[in-house]
Structure 1
Amino acid sequence: MSDPAATIAVCPICPHHCRLKEGEAGFCRARANQGGTVRSLSYGKLTSAALDPIEKKPLYHFRPGSVIFSVGTFGCNLRCPFCQNYTISQAGADGFSGSPLAMEKARPEDVVRAASRLAREAGNIGVAFTYNEPLVGFEFVRDTASLLREAELAVVLVTNGQIESGLWERLLPLVDAANIDLKGFTQDFYDWIGGDLETTKEAIRLAAVRGVHVEVTTLVIPTKNDSREEMDAEGAWLASISPEIPLHLSRYFPCYRTEIPGTPVETLQGLRAVAQKHLRRVHLGNV
């Protein structure tokens, strides 16, 4: 008789370490046990592609005024109830809540070819992996980033930083810039969204010390992560890495499964003053 445990595979990507039976998808919906190995379901399946201003990532201090070819797939290893891109971040290979997603299959070389054409025609500087959580599709990001490096095009990540440090360190030599979401500065907040605060903090620290251009975004949500004490702690911690790290404080609006009223601009302004005690570059977004 075969051992049922032999069919279990553990995903190595993030702190969830999903233990998956044969054919079962993980928490992120973008990875599954196939033949005893956890494989990406989203490899090369693009749900979104656009030429965006670099400031939209947001990256204000990396090649300002430029544009970047931005691509996304599906899936995420968080469950933010306020997600703006929930129809792709909370989708799986079959789509979102029974509705199929429009996906275009693309190989890494296809993405690089498109980015190179846009570089010639529109001044594109590279590729940003964004819209959903790119690191749940680690292999596609790694393979495409390697080719982008050969083509002398920039590699940008917009990520929640929920990745195991060993894999992150393997990817960082291929990355030029990253905007990393620091969703809140308490584990209680991360419990609400299904993540681990220390993992994101380590992702920020490692990227910064490895020479990647790092900017950080915190979406400020009333009653959830808008206290001055929390912002003071966040600003002090970021400054312990470098006071030059740009921090974006973004205004929340009700979305997806949240009905908390939107963030008052006055709240953001007050939190910016707190963060500026520690950091030299603090920006407000969605105002």
Structure 2
Amino acid sequence: MNYPARYWHTLDDGRIQCDLCPRYCRLHPEQRGACFVRMREGDGMVLTTYGRSSGFCIDPIEKKPLNHFYPGTSVFSFGTAGCNLACKFCQNWDISKSRDMDSLMDAATPDEIVRTAAEWGCTSIAFTYNDPVIFAEYAIDVAKAAHQQGLKTVAVTAGYITELARGEFYEHMDAANVDLKGFTDDFYVHQCGAHLQPVLDTLSWLVHKTNVWVEITTLLIPGLNDSEEELRSLSTWVAKELGTEVPLHFSAFHPDFKLMDIPPTPPTTLSRARGIALAEGLKYVYTGNVHDTDGGSTRCSGCGKVVIKRDWYEILDYTLDDNGACLACGTRLAGRFGHFDSPFGSRRIPVAIHRQSPSHKKTAAIRPDQS
């Protein structure tokens, strides 16, 4: 389905410029942008993946990762294909770099996605696996339908979007986890094929100009973005420019895609990074992709008591009231909270949206998440 795309204009030389992301791809007839999914068709631009998904899954919200956005709830996750970055370490490269359109044949309208998410008891819908910025029109329509049914929306994104497009896109998002890939432009240029400043601009705008709940994730790659100097600079910038209550996640790298020669991130690196960020004044700093109860748990910013005890994505203990206030001292944590009953847990459930219904829950594939 080629869907009329927004965020473009015609240049004097007859080419069409895409204004969705800072790449500003300039296209001749039938030419695709760097993301692969936005294409010039005739005198306009189309989105080639509208209504087509690379897969659906029910996840714990902590997998996004979001530790302060309705903890313990389940989220209906889906993505499409393509990406506007070129990360050599991409852990979803089979989706983000797909050029085989046959892999996108799980078709679903916004209403179908929302109906399925609601039937499975999900609290929110996440646009993830590849960057939702490149399928903005589809994500916005799903988000509109979700809000009509009382569901929340989550964007898992690199934040590589223009000032022109970001207002409409994030207007329909309740939360975002933004991948801050590193903290030097050199890293962004050579490892991601992009630039750092547009991401910092997006983060500052999100935190100070919108009501979107924001958390940040940095994947630490040994020898590339894990130096003490870079980690301190990153942490200082977050504390100074965004505030000390924005949660920061340091996640473990494993060899993938074009970086198969780099070893996995040692747990000690994650702990060191967390210590640096805490020393810079950040109140909520987490380690990810590892079993680390201390690094995965949330402490009250008032009394220091562990108020959400986690192991990976699994919540082991929870001592906050429905408003997110510590039961020991009454301090209200930053975030979005609600009534906490039984947590969804660490499992994930793949969903074939046209072939499986909630009546099949007992036979659905349920397994511990290994990503």
- Give the alignment's TM-score, normalised by structure 2: 0.72
CA contact (8 A) 1:161 1:181 kept: yes
CA contact (8 A) 1:181 1:216 kept: yes
Unpaired segments of 5 or more residues in structure 2? 1-10, 291-371
Equivalent position SS for 1:38:
strand
* Alignment-derived partner of residue 349 in structure 2: none
Equivalent position SS for 1:101:
helix
Deviation of 1:218 after TM superposition, in Å, equals 0.2
Deviation of 1:39 after TM superposition, in Å, equals 1.6
Could you list the structure 1 runs, at least 4 aligned residues long, displaced by more than 6 angstroms after superposition: none
Deviation of 1:5 after TM superposition, in Å, equals 3.5
Alignment of 1:255 onto 2:256: yes
- Give the alignment's TM-score, normalised by structure 1: 0.92
* Alignment-derived partner of residue 193 in structure 2: 194
| 1:69-80 aligned within 5 A | 69-80=76-87
User: Considering only CA atoms, is the larger Rg found in Structure 1 or Structure 2?
Assistant: 2
* Alignment-derived partner of residue 274 in structure 1: 276
* Alignment-derived partner of residue 357 in structure 2: none
Equivalent position SS for 2:45:
strand
**Alpha-carbon distance in 1 for matches of 2:60, 2:89:** 24
Deviation of 1:102 after TM superposition, in Å, equals 4.7
Paired amino acid for 2:226:
D
Paired amino acid for 2:203:
I
| 1:66-145 aligned within 5 A | 66-92=73-99, 94-95=100-101, 100-119=102-121, 124-145=122-143
Paired residues in the alignment total 275
Deviations 1:18-73 (A, max 9, x none): 00111111101111111122221111110110110000101011000000100110
Equivalent position SS for 1:270:
helix
CA contact (8 A) 1:52 1:68 kept: yes
**Alpha-carbon distance in 1 for matches of 2:168, 2:233:** 29
Structure 1 residues 66 and 86: CA distance shift in structure 2, 3 A: same
**Counterpart selection for 2:31 from 24, 28, 33:** 24
Alignment of 1:45 onto 2:52: yes
Deviation of 1:172 after TM superposition, in Å, equals 2.0
Structure 1 residues 23 and 227: CA distance shift in structure 2, 3 A: same
Q: Which has the higher helix share?
A: 1
- Measured on the aligned residues, the alpha-carbon RMSD in Å equals 1.5
* Alignment-derived partner of residue 13 in structure 2: 5
Paired amino acid for 2:229:
E
CA contact (8 A) 1:169 1:206 kept: no
Deviations 1:156-183 (A, max 9, x none): 0100101012211222221111100000
Deviations 1:230-277 (A, max 9, x none): 111111111121101111100111111112111111111111111112
Deviations 1:177-203 (A, max 9, x none): 110000000000110211121111111
Deviations 1:127-181 (A, max 9, x none): 1000111110010011111121222110101001010122112222211111000
* Alignment-derived partner of residue 181 in structure 1: 179
CA contact (8 A) 2:60 2:74 kept: yes
Paired amino acid for 1:104:
D
Paired amino acid for 1:149:
H
